[in-house]
Structure 1
Amino acid sequence: MRTFLLCFLVCTFTHATETVTQYVNPFIGTSNFGATHPGAQYPHGMASVVPFNAAFKAGKENTFEKDEAWNSRGYIHDNNFLTGFSHVNLSGVGCPDLGSLLLMPTTGSLEFDAEKYGATYSNEEASPGYYRNTLNKYGIDVEVTSTLRTGLSRYTFPKGQSQILLNLGLGLTNETGGMLKVVSNNEVEGFKMLGTFCYNPEDVRPVYFVAKLSKKAKTAGAWKKMPTYKNVEAEWVGYNDSYKPYENYRQEIAGDDIGAYFQFDTQENEQIEVKLGISYVSISNARENLEAEQPEFSFERTKEKSQQKWQQLLERITVKGDTEKKTIFYSALYHTLIHPNIIQDINGDYPLMGQSGIGNNQEKTRYSVYSLWDTNRNLHPLLSLVYPEIQSDMVNSMVDMAKESGWLPKWELLGMETQVMVGDPATPVIADTYLRGIQDFDIDSAYNFAKKAASVEQNNLLRPENKAYLTHGYVPVDGEGQWDGTVSTSLEYYIADWNLAQLAKALGKKQDHDTFLQRSMGYKKLFDPKTGMLRPKHINGKWLTPYDPQLGRNFEPAPGYIEGNAWNYRFYVPHDINGLMELLGGEKHFLEQLEQTFITDNFDMANEPDITYPFLYNYIEGEEWRSQKRVMELIEKHYHNTPGGIPGNDDAGTLSAWLVFSMMGIYPVSPGDMHYAVVSPSFNEVTIKLNSDYYANKNLVIKSKQNDSEGKYISNILFNNEKINSYFINHNALVKGGELLFLIGDEKSK
C-alpha cells in the first residue's frame, strides 16, 4: 500500500491496487432532485468548488430567464447557463443554503450583472476532486479542485481583456449581506452571511474568506448594486439595474449585492489561478487555512492530493463485477463521504454550538452538517462498519455540541440547530455507534444528554412534544401543525427510546432499560386494528376521523404524517417487527400487507421512513427470497449511471448508503439492532478492509457463488465455513473478519 501511494504521488500507477476513483461519476444525482453536485469536493471538506447554474434556465431562441425553482440545488444538470463557481456548498439536502462565494472568469467589457455575464458551457468533465468545462461565450477553459478548507481554480484565457469576478450577492442562502475589501490587485478578503435553512428563523452565521490570484491585475476594484428610492423620504423600493463600480483597489464595501473584480490583459492560453480559503471564525483564520493548505499556486499537485485522499478512502471497499455496477456503487460510496464535513480551522478554531464564541479542538476533528433524521438509519452504521475512526470523530463532535448547547444535535448546520424534521435522531446514532464497538467517546455524557432529551417535559429542544408523549404514550393529533406529523413524531420517539434502552442495558442501567423499553412499545397505542394502520389519535383516545391512509403521498401534507402517508409509516417499527407482525394477525397477514405496500405503489424509494421495508420479508420463514427480489428490482429501477441515477434527494448520502449496503448484500434494519438483513449481493466478491484499531481482523470478504447461470436467490449462507440458518447476521460477528459466502441458485427459498 505504501508503495502504491508513493507511485500515485508521482503519477506512475501500478497494477498492485486498482484505482477505484475511476468508477466515480459525480454527475449521478445532479438531476431528478438528487441535489448532489459534480464539483471539486475533498472528502468531508469544508470547502468545495461547484459550478453554479441554478439562477437562470434556457428560454426561447437561446435566451435565458430566471429559474424560480432553485430549491436546494446550486447545480442542475438540465440547466446550461453558468454564473460562477461557489466555494461553500451542501450536497443532497432538501432546502437551500450556502452555494455562495462565486468566482467567474469573463472576457471583453466589464459586466456586473450575472444574467449578462453568465455563459453557456461545454466539454464538462468531473471526477473525485476535479471538475472542468469550457465557457462558450468567452472561450475560457475552467478547471477547479479543492483541499479541506480551500478551493483552487485555473482559468485558461484567450488573448485580450479578461476579468475575474467575485460575486457575494448571488447564491442559494436565504440571507443577504456581506463585506469585502480589495486588499491589493491580486487579493480580496471579506465575509458573506449564511443561514435561515429551510426558512426557519434560526441564527445566521458569516463565512469568512481570503482569495489570492496568481497574477496581479492591471485594475482591481469592487461593485455594488444600487437601490432606487421612491421619494425624498428615501423609501427603499428595490434594486434597479445600476451597478456602481469602485475603481480604487483598496476599496472596502458592504451590502446585499456586492462583488470584486480583477482585470487583465491576457495572452493566448494564458493561465491564471485563484485560490480561496474559508473559515467560519475569522478572516485571519481563512488566511491561515489558505497559507497552510495552499502555500503556493500548484493546481496539479493540489488535484493529485485530493485524488489520493479519495482513493485512500474509497478503496476501503473493493468489489469484483462489471464496470456499470462498480460505477453506481463507488459513486454512491463517494456521496456518503461528503457530509458531515469538518468545520474547524487549521489551528483548531470552530464556532461554538448554539452560542456566540469560539471553541478550539486540536486533538479531534470537529464536524458539522448533521442531517440526522435521514442519516441515523444507514449512513452512520455504514461509517461505523467501514470508517469507524471517522464515525468516532463524528460522535465526539455530537457530544461536544451537547456540552456547549445543552442538547444533542437534530439537524445541525454550521453550529446552529435548525430544528428541521421530527423526532430525536441523535440518540439512535449514539447508541448504534457504541453498540457497534466504537466506544472512544464520553459515553457517560452522551447517555445523560440522550436521557435528558427523553425526560425533559418543557422547552425540550429535541423533543418539543415530549410532555404530551409522556402523558399519553403518543403525541396526540390535537393542535397539530401542517408539518408536525404526530404519528411520525411518535414513531421516531419510540425508536429513540428503544435505542436508549439498548444503550442502558449495555451500560448496566437495568431500571432505565426497563423504563425506556416499555416506552418504545407505545406504538401499539397508535395501531388501529380496523385499518391495520398506525393512525393519528386524539387526546381523548379516539381516532382521527375522517381518515384516508392514502393522503400524504408525494410529500403532500397529511394529518399525522410528515413526508409520507400511512402506508409509508405502516411498518415503521423497525425495533419490534415481530411485535407489529403479531398485531397485524401473524405472518400471513403481515406478508399480504407488505406486498400490498409495493403492489399499490405506496412504497417510496425517495424517502426515508420506508426504505427498510424491502428487507422485512426476511422476518418470514420461506419468504426471504422476496427481499432479494425487491432489492434487485429497486436497484435496477432507481439507481443508474446517469444524472437522474438517484431516486430523489440524496439526503446527505442516505439514499446512497442504502445502495452501498444493498449491493454488498447486507442491510441494517434498525439503528441499535446489530443484525444485518442479508440479500443477494450485486458482486461476485466484496472486500471490506476493517480498521484494526477498532475491529479484530483485517478483512471481511463477502462472496457470491452461483450454482447455475440463471440463479438469483440465496440457497445457503456460510460464514467462515459454518452454515448460517438465518437471513440475518450479526455485526459483531462480521467485524471479527473472515468470509461470508452466499450460494446462489434458482430456488426461491432454502
Structure 2
Amino acid sequence: MRLSFVKSAKKEAFLYCAAVMGMFLLPFTIHGQKPSEYVNPFIGTSNYGATFPGPVVPWGMVSVVPYNVTPHEGNEYSNTDGWCSNPYVYNNELMTGFSHVNLSGVGCPDLGSILLMPTTGDLEVDFNRYGTAISNQEASPGYYSAFLDRYSIKAEATTTTRTGISRYTFPEGKANILLNLGHGLTNESGAFVKMVSDTEIEGYKLMGTFCYNPEAVIPVYFVVEFSKPAIKRGYWKKQPQLPGTRHQWSSTSGQFKIYDNYSRELAGEQIGAWYSFETEKGETIEAKVGVSYVSIENARKNLNAEQPAFDFEQTMAQAKERWNHQLSKIEVEGGSEEDKVKFYTALYHLLIHPNILQDVNGEYPAMESAEILKTDGHNRHTVFSLWDTYRNVHPLLTLVYPEQQTDMLNSMVDMYKESGWLPKWELYSRETNVMEGDPALVVLADSYLRGLTGFDVETAYEGMMKSAMSGGDENPLRPHNDFFKKNHFIAFRDSFDNTVSEALEFYVADYSLSRLALALGKKKDHEMLYERSLGYKKYFDPEYDLMRPLEADGTFMPNFDPMQGEMFEPVHGFHEGNSWQYSFAVPHDIRGLMRLMGGADRFVHQLERTFNDGLFDMSNEPDMGYPWFFNYVKGEEWRTQRTVRDCVNRYFHTGPDGLPGNDDTGTMSAWLLYSMMGFYPVSPADPVYTLSSPVFDRVTIHLDEDYFPGEKIVIESVNNSEDNIYIRKMELGGKPLRKFMISHDELIEKGYLKFYLDDQPDR
C-alpha cells in the first residue's frame, strides 16, 4: 500500500489513504514501499518553512504550485504566517491559480508567476473575485491534486524538468482557463502575451528584484498549449484611474478591460489572457506550459522535447520514477514511520535547488549579462543560496550526488568567467547580494578537498583570490576589504550593523581558501589566509566569553548587550541573531576558541547555556553546528548525542509546520538528514565528520563509483530504540573506533560504521 498525503482545506490533519502500487521497480523498497511514498510535500508549508506541495522533478526548472497567497489593497499579502516568501501557505484556503516558476524554502518573495486558473460560469478576471477554497488536496513527489470547491473542478498537476502539465476535470457548462500575468510573488511588473491560436499562448513576464535588489531583474518566457480548442478567447488589462473620475484606482475595484475581439498581442502590468470552452460533465482539459529563461522559441522547444503529446499519466509516472531513482541513493531501515517520513521528505527538499537553468538546446542567460551562451558538457544550475547551503547542502551533495555537485561547481566557475566575480546568492544569472560573507569560496574548496576535482580549479582559485584580496572599492563581495586585510577585522560603523557576523563569515571563507591553497601547493597564500582566518580572536571579549563588536582602534564597542534582540530585529554587530547565536560560529578553530574561554569546562558551560537558557536558534544557520561542538571535548560527547536527538525530535515533525523555519533551499533539511544518519560535516573545508547516534537501525548510502571507491557506506546501530540514544562503543570497518571525528576518506574507504547504543551516557 502507498502512503499518500492528503489535506482537506477544512482540516489540519494528514490522513492515510490507500492507492495502487507504483509502476516502476527500484533498487530497494521499505516494507514494500518505495522511498517517494514516505515523502510528505506539505511539511514546511507553514511556520515560515516556505516549501510548497506542488510537483517538481529533482533539480527541475518548473514546478506547478497552488497559489493561495492573496494580495489585497496596498500590496499586502494575506497569510497566517505574516511574512510571505512562498506561493502557498498551508493554513490559507483561497487559491487563485497554479504558478509555474517557484522557489522552495527562501526568505524573500520572488517568482510565483505564470498562473493558470480554471473557472466555470461567467468570465471573471479579477483574482480578488475568482479565488476559491480548495479541498481534498493530495501531494506526492511528481503529483498534486485538489478539488476547487467553488467551481466543482478537480485539478491535477505534474512536471518534467522544463515543463508543467495540469489536468482539469470540469462539470457541464461553460469553462474558462485564465492565464494571469499580473499576479504573483515577484516584486517586478510588466508582461507580454500573444494568442498564437485557439489552443496556444506565448509570452514573457518580468520577475526578480529578489530581496528588493533593484538590479536583479529576470525575464521568463513561456508557451501554453491546451488539449481542446477554445470556442472564445481574449485578453484583459487593468485600467488606471482616469483624470476626473470618481473611483480611485484599486486592486479590488474590478476595473478590468476585457478584450474579446482583439487577438494580436498585449503588453502591460496587470494583464492576462482567457480561453473559454463548453464542457460535458467529467470532461478533462489539459494545459501544458513550457518555460525558458532565454526566449519564447526555446520555451516551445522545451515543451516539444519534453512533452510532445498530452499524456498526463505518462508524465506523472516518469516524474515519480525520477524521484524514486534519486531518493533510492540513501536507504534507511528501522526507526518509526514518522522518522522515515521526516527523512525522505528532507531528502526530497534537498534535491529541488540549485535547479537546472539551461534549455534542451543547452542555451542559458550568462551571469550578469544579456549574452546567451551554451553549456559545455555539464548542466548549468541556478538558485545558489550559498550563505545557507555551504554548511551542509553542498557537502551532502558531494557525498551522495557528486555528479550533480560537480555540475554546480562548474556552474559557479562559469559565473566567474562570465561576470568577473564568483556568486554570493545567485538567482537565474543575476546576483542578488543577499546575506554576508564570501560563501562560494567555502563550497569550491570544501568540494575539492572531499575529492571532487572535475572543474577548472585554477580558474576557480583565481576567482577566489580575487574576492579575497581585491580592494573594497572594487569588491562587491567584500566592500570593507581594505581595512579587513590590514587589521583582520571589520570596525563597528553605526548604531546597527552586521560587522561581527560579516567578519565571522570571512574567517570561514579565508580558512577554506587557505586549505585549498595548501592542497594546491601555494604555501604563502595558505599562511597569509590562515593567519587572517584567526582574526575572530580580536572580537572575543573575556568578560562575557562572547563575541563583541570592535571600534576602528580595536577597542570593544561600549554599552554591549549580548542578549540584545531577536532574529530580524536590529542588533549591534550581528545579522539575524545576537552574540549568543554567533559566538561559537568559528567551526574552523573550535579548539582555539576553547582556549580563549579558559579551557574545556568553561567552553562546555557556555555551550550548554545556549540550550538551557533558550539562546539556541534552530531556525537559522549561524548556530546550527552548536549541537555537535560538544564532541570537541573528550568525555562530553554524550551531550552532542543528547542535544542532536533533542533537536531532531523538538524542531522537526511531519505536520505542515514540521520545519523550524525557512528551509533555505534545503539547508534545514540537510541538517536533519545528517543528524538522523549520525554524522555531520562540522567544519567547512575540513573533510571531517563528527559523530552522533543515528535514528535508524541501518543506513545505506549508495556511492557513485565514478567518483568514489566502493559501492556503499553502511551505518548500523545495535540496540537502537527511542530511549537508547547514547553511544557505548563504535566500530569503523570492523575495528574499534575511539574518536568522534573521522575523515571523509575514512568513511568512504572503510565503508562500515557501527554504533552500540544504550539509554545511559558513557561519562
C-alpha distance in 1 between matches for 2:172 and 2:144 = 24
Shift in Å at residue 738 of structure 1? 2.2
- Indicate the residue corresponding to 2:393 in structure 1: 379
C-alpha distance in 2 between matches for 1:36 and 1:633 = 23
Shift in Å at residue 231 of structure 1? 4.6
Q: Would you say 1:45 and 2:60 are equivalent positions? A: yes
- Indicate the residue corresponding to 2:679 in structure 1: 666
Q: Would you say 1:404 and 2:418 are equivalent positions? A: yes
C-alpha distance in 2 between matches for 1:235 and 1:65 = 23
- Per mean C-alpha deviation after superposition, the further-off stretch among 494-503 and 68-77 is 68-77
3-state SS in 2 of match to 1:389:
helix
- Per mean C-alpha deviation after superposition, the further-off stretch among 13-22 and 469-478 is 13-22
Q: Would you say 1:693 and 2:706 are equivalent positions? A: yes
Q: Would you say 1:283 and 2:296 are equivalent positions? A: yes
- Indicate the residue corresponding to 2:618 in structure 1: 605
Shift in Å at residue 241 of structure 1? 2.5
Shift in Å at residue 248 of structure 1? 3.4
1:696–1:737 contact (8 Å) kept in structure 2:
no
- Per mean C-alpha deviation after superposition, the further-off stretch among 465-474 and 505-514 is 465-474
- Indicate the residue corresponding to 2:70 in structure 1: 55
Shift in Å at residue 747 of structure 1? 3.7
- Indicate the residue corresponding to 1:181 in structure 2: 194
Shift in Å at residue 238 of structure 1? 6.1
Question: 1:734/1:136 Cα in 2 relative to 1: closer, same or farther (>3 Å)?
Answer: same
1:713–1:745 contact (8 Å) kept in structure 2:
yes
Letter of the 2:417 partner, please give it: K
3-state SS in 1 of match to 2:567:
helix
C-alpha distance in 2 between matches for 1:356 and 1:427 = 26
Residue 460 of structure 1 is aligned with which of 455, 475, 480? 475
C-alpha distance in 1 between matches for 2:120 and 2:266 = 24
Shift in Å at residue 116 of structure 1? 1.0
- Indicate the residue corresponding to 1:61 in structure 2: none
Question: 1:14/1:329 Cα in 2 relative to 1: closer, same or farther (>3 Å)?
Answer: closer
- Indicate the residue corresponding to 1:342 in structure 2: 356
Q: How does 1:116-131 map to 2 (within 5 A)?
A: 116-131=129-144
Q: Would you say 1:629 and 2:622 are equivalent positions? A: no
3-state SS in 2 of match to 1:223:
strand
- Indicate the residue corresponding to 2:342 in structure 1: 328
Letter of the 2:109 partner, please give it: P
Letter of the 1:410 partner, please give it: K
C-alpha distance in 2 between matches for 1:689 and 1:736 = 13
3-state SS in 2 of match to 1:181:
strand
Q: Would you say 1:34 and 2:13 are equivalent positions? A: no
Shift in Å at residue 56 of structure 1? 5.9
- Indicate the residue corresponding to 1:22 in structure 2: 37
Shift in Å at residue 695 of structure 1? 0.4
Letter of the 2:388 partner, please give it: D
C-alpha distance in 2 between matches for 1:356 and 1:676 = 42
Q: Would you say 1:11 and 2:23 are equivalent positions? A: yes
Shift in Å at residue 362 of structure 1? 4.6
Shift in Å at residue 244 of structure 1? 1.1
Letter of the 1:386 partner, please give it: V
2:452–2:707 contact (8 Å) kept in structure 1:
yes
Shift in Å at residue 225 of structure 1? 1.0
3-state SS in 2 of match to 1:131:
strand
2:688–2:743 contact (8 Å) kept in structure 1:
yes
Question: 1:262/1:249 Cα in 2 relative to 1: closer, same or farther (>3 Å)?
Answer: farther
Q: Would you say 1:486 and 2:537 are equivalent positions? A: no
RMSD (Å) for aligned C-alpha atoms: 2.0
Deviations 1:168-196 (A, max 9, x none): 00000000100100111110000000011
3-state SS in 1 of match to 2:41:
coil
Shift in Å at residue 66 of structure 1? 4.8
- Indicate the residue corresponding to 2:434 in structure 1: 420
C-alpha distance in 2 between matches for 1:346 and 1:287 = 10
3-state SS in 1 of match to 2:254:
strand
3-state SS in 1 of match to 2:155:
strand
Question: 1:384/1:357 Cα in 2 relative to 1: closer, same or farther (>3 Å)?
Answer: same
Letter of the 1:328 partner, please give it: K
Deviations 1:625-671 (A, max 9, x none): 00000011111111101100000011111000000000000001121
Q: Report how many residues are paired.
A: 734
- Indicate the residue corresponding to 2:377 in structure 1: 363
3-state SS in 2 of match to 1:227:
coil
Letter of the 1:20 partner, please give it: P
C-alpha distance in 2 between matches for 1:179 and 1:342 = 24
Residue 292 of structure 1 is aligned with which of 305, 323, 344? 305
Letter of the 1:11 partner, please give it: M
C-alpha distance in 1 between matches for 2:641 and 2:422 = 37
Q: Would you say 1:255 and 2:253 are equivalent positions? A: no
Query: What's the TM-score once normalised by structure 1's chain length?
Result: 0.95
Shift in Å at residue 479 of structure 1? 4.2
Question: 1:737/1:386 Cα in 2 relative to 1: closer, same or farther (>3 Å)?
Answer: farther
Query: What's the TM-score once normalised by structure 2's chain length?
Result: 0.94
1:86–1:100 contact (8 Å) kept in structure 2:
yes
Residue 317 of structure 1 is aligned with which of 303, 321, 330? 330
Question: 1:317/1:653 Cα in 2 relative to 1: closer, same or farther (>3 Å)?
Answer: same
C-alpha distance in 1 between matches for 2:343 and 2:527 = 41
Residue 518 of structure 2 is aligned with which of 505, 513, 529? 505
Q: Would you say 1:441 and 2:455 are equivalent positions? A: yes
2:679–2:691 contact (8 Å) kept in structure 1:
yes
Deviations 1:370-401 (A, max 9, x none): 00000000000000011011100001000000
3-state SS in 1 of match to 2:664:
coil
Letter of the 2:62 partner, please give it: A
1:219–1:249 contact (8 Å) kept in structure 2:
no
Letter of the 1:31 partner, please give it: S
C-alpha distance in 2 between matches for 1:629 and 1:511 = 42
Question: 1:586/1:163 Cα in 2 relative to 1: closer, same or farther (>3 Å)?
Answer: same
Residue 683 of structure 1 is aligned with which of 696, 720, 739? 696
Shift in Å at residue 213 of structure 1? 0.2
C-alpha distance in 2 between matches for 1:249 and 1:471 = 66
2:696–2:720 contact (8 Å) kept in structure 1:
no
Q: Would you say 1:395 and 2:388 are equivalent positions? A: no
1:56–1:67 contact (8 Å) kept in structure 2:
no
C-alpha distance in 2 between matches for 1:555 and 1:167 = 33
3-state SS in 2 of match to 1:338:
coil
User: Tell me, which stretches of 5 or more residues in structure 2 are unaligned?
Assistant: 1-19
C-alpha distance in 1 between matches for 2:428 and 2:398 = 23
Letter of the 2:719 partner, please give it: Q
Letter of the 1:197 partner, please give it: F
- Indicate the residue corresponding to 1:60 in structure 2: none
Q: Would you say 1:529 and 2:542 are equivalent positions? A: yes
Letter of the 2:23 partner, please give it: C
Of all paired residues, the percent bearing the same amino acid is 51
Residue 488 of structure 2 is aligned with which of 473, 496, 515? 473
C-alpha distance in 1 between matches for 2:327 and 2:399 = 13
Residue 98 of structure 2 is aligned with which of 79, 85, 89? 85
3-state SS in 2 of match to 1:735:
helix
C-alpha distance in 1 between matches for 2:365 and 2:138 = 35
Residue 232 of structure 2 is aligned with which of 204, 219, 222? 219
Shift in Å at residue 525 of structure 1? 0.8
Deviations 1:576-621 (A, max 9, x none): 0000000000000001111111111110000000000000000111
